[in-house]
Structure 1
Amino acid sequence: MSKRPNFGGMGGMNMQQMMKQAKKLQEQMAQEQQTITAQEFVGKSADDMVVVTFSGDRKLKDISINKDAIDPDDPDMLQDLIIDAINKGLSEIDEATQQSLGKYTKGMI
């Protein structure tokens, strides 16, 4: 007579416990993501000539351009300042996300 493995005993309980822990972890991550989304992140170019504000979900909410940055003979400078400010703002979001959610994903990637 062959012996069948018993999957319903302690193994089933461990799986149930793992599912509870996974659900709790998922809820914590969602809550932290909501916190990030509710925050505002600012990116500034050199000398604060261009200042942009993003929401945590990476939506541009505001842009402020110093009038001294507007040189009709040098539109490339203004473009560079805008790009710099935007990239810095997005980096701020990435950094905050990594600090907040990185503890959950550490070692997964």
Structure 2
Amino acid sequence: MRGNNNMQQMMKQMQKMQKKMTEEQEKLKEERVEGTAGGGMVTVTVSGHKEVLDVVVKEDVVDPDDVDMLQDLIVAATNDALTKADELTSERLGKHTKGMNIPGMM
């Protein structure tokens, strides 16, 4: 009977953790992170759910003869922002699974 009680207690803990993680995921939707490239010449803002929300390109970087550079800066800034969104997600959700070895999670 003791094993069954431990299992019930573990299931309750898992349900509580799942609820907290769902709440954190909803909060992440509202979070904003910025990625930059070219010393701030291009800034990309994404949500915690990795949705691109805004792209700002400073006028100085727009050169019709070097469109490739501008495209590279946009890609770099976007990747920077997405990396920061991943880090934010890991930080927020990881605190709920710290010390647990759950397959398929962090």
Tell me which interval the TM-score lies in, with the shorter structure as reference length: 0.7 to 0.9
Residue of structure 2 aligned with 1:64, choices 43, 50, 56:
56
Matched with 2:90 is: 98
Q: Post-superposition shift, 1:24? A: 0.3
- Between the two proteins, the alignment pairs up a number of residues equal to 101
Residue of structure 2 aligned with 1:17, choices 9, 16, 31:
9
Matched with 2:32 is: 40
Instruction: Give the RMSD, CA atoms, in angstroms.
Output: 1.6
Return the letter of the residue paired with 1:78.
L
User: Within 1, Cα distance between the matches of 2:8 and 2:63?
Assistant: 65
* Structure 2 unpaired stretches of 5+: none
* Structure 1 unpaired stretches of 5+: 1-8
Return the letter of the residue paired with 2:20.
Q
Large movers: runs of 4+ above 4 Å: none
SS of residue matched to 1:84: helix
